[in-house]
Chain A
C-alpha cells in the first residue's frame, strides 16, 4: 500500500521564484528564508517520497472568473508552468501521476466531496515555487506531482473546516492506494499578508505563530475559524492558510504527527513567510 511520509508547508511568494533563479540564497534579505530549505532537503533525503500532492491556489493563470471551481484536481500526465505576466521565470513541465489522481478522485467523491477534474492544468507560482524549493527545477528530479487547487480568489471560498475535512478525505484516499508510492502532502501559501486596499502591507506575526503552533497537535482549533476571522487576522490573501489546514487534514488519523522543523520570517515581499515539516509515523 502507499504510504504518507508526512506533510510540508511553504509560502509560495512569487518573488521567491526570481530570487531562486538568481541564487540569492546567501543574500542578507533572502538568507533567513532560504536557510530553512536545506533542513527540509535533509528530511526529504531520508524519507524519499516519490509523489507530492500539492495543495495550492491558482492566482489567475489556469482559472478565471468565467469558471471558478472550489476544489480542482489535476489528472494529467504532466503540468506546465507558464508565463504569469509579471516576469518570474517559467520553470518547465512537472510530471504527473494520473492513475493516483483518479484513485483520489474516486475515493474523495465517494465521501461526498465534489471535485473539478482537469486533464489539462497550467500550474502557477503557487504550485511551482514550493516544488522548486523542495525538489529543484522539474528537470532536476524524478518526482511525480498531483496539483490540487482550492479557490481563494473569489468569495465565498471554502471554510477552514471544509478544507480540513477535505484534507482528511484526501489522506484516506492516499492511504488506500494499492501502489508502493511514498507520498508527501504539501500545503502552500500564506502566512499573513494583504496585497489590496488601504490595509495593504498588513502582517500579523502573533497570529502566524499561533497557527504554526496549533497546526501541529490541535488543528481542529484552527478549523473552527470562519473565513471572516481568517481575513481579519491573516489579511485578505492570508486566507491561503486554508491550504495548510487541508494538508494537515491529510495527516490526521493516519499515524503520529511530529514536527521536525519550522521556520518563520518577516518580511519576504509583503508576507510573513513560513515553512514546516510534519513527519507521520
Chain B
C-alpha cells in the first residue's frame, strides 16, 4: 500500500510523508519512548529485547545496531524521533550531520560556518 507522493524529489532529502510514516511507525514509536529516562535505561540494559518489544522489523533493528542515521531514515525513521535515539549516545546534530554527509565533525562544522560567509 502506498500513498500519493507529494512532488518532485529534492536531492538528499526524504519527505516524511504517509509512506514513511507507515514504514517507520514501530521504529519511531520506540524512539519517541526515549523521552523517558526509564525507557532509555531499558534500551541500554537490553537493546534487542527493547527493539523486539516495539515490533521493529529486521531492517530497522540493523539500522539501530549500526547507529546509522541514513539507514534509519531508509527504514522509515523521522529525524525528530531519531534525535532522541542519538541523544542516548550523547550525539549532537553536528555529529549526526557529519555521519550522514560522510564528513568529519570538524569538516561538517566548517561547512556550516562557510555558509554564513
Q: Is the CB of A265 within 8 A of B116?
A: yes
A122 to B21, CA, bound (A): 23
Within 8 A of A (CB), among B55-95: 69-70, 73, 78-84, 86-88, 90, 92-94
Q: Is the CB of B87 within 8 A of A86?
A: yes
From B12, B84, B86, B94, contact of A270 by CB (8 A): B94
From B70, B101, B112, contact of A266 by CB (8 A): B112
Shortest beta-carbon distance from A234 to chain B in Å:
11
| Interface residues of A, count at CB 8 A | 42
A244-267, CB under 8 A of B: which get 1 and which 0? 000000000000000000000111
Within 8 A of A (CB), among B1-46: 6-8, 10-18, 21, 25, 28-29, 31-32, 34-37, 40
Q: Does A64 contact B (CB under 8 A)?
A: yes
Q: Is the CB of B93 within 8 A of A236?
A: no
Q: Does A178 contact B (CB under 8 A)?
A: no
| Interface residues of B, count at CB 8 A | 51
Q: Is the CB of A228 within 8 A of B21?
A: no
Which interface residue of B83, B88, B113 has the most chain A CB atoms within 10 A? B83
Within 8 A of B (CB), among A166-206: 194-205
- Chain A residues lying within 8 Å of B32, measured Cβ to Cβ, are 60, 64-65
From A85, A154, A156, A197, contact of B35 by CB (8 A): A85
Secondary structure of the A side of the interface? loop
From A156, A200, A204, contact of B97 by CB (8 A): A200
Q: Does A212 contact B (CB under 8 A)?
A: no
From A85, A232, A265, contact of B87 by CB (8 A): A85
Q: CB within 8 Å of A: which residues of B? A: 6-8, 10-18, 21, 25, 28-29, 31-32, 34-37, 40, 69-70, 73, 78-84, 86-88, 90, 92-94, 96-97, 100-101, 108-109, 111-113, 115-116
Q: CB within 8 Å of B: which residues of A? A: 15, 59-61, 64-66, 82-87, 153-156, 194-205, 226-228, 231-232, 236-237, 265-267, 269-270, 272
Q: A85-B83, A200-B100 are in contact. List 13 more A-B contacts (CB 8 A).
A: A59-B83, A65-B78, A84-B87, A85-B36, A85-B87, A155-B18, A195-B93, A197-B70, A198-B12, A199-B11, A237-B79, A269-B92, A272-B116
The 8 closest A-B pairs by CB, nearest first: A86-B87, A266-B116, A199-B12, A198-B12, A85-B84, A196-B79, A267-B112, A200-B97
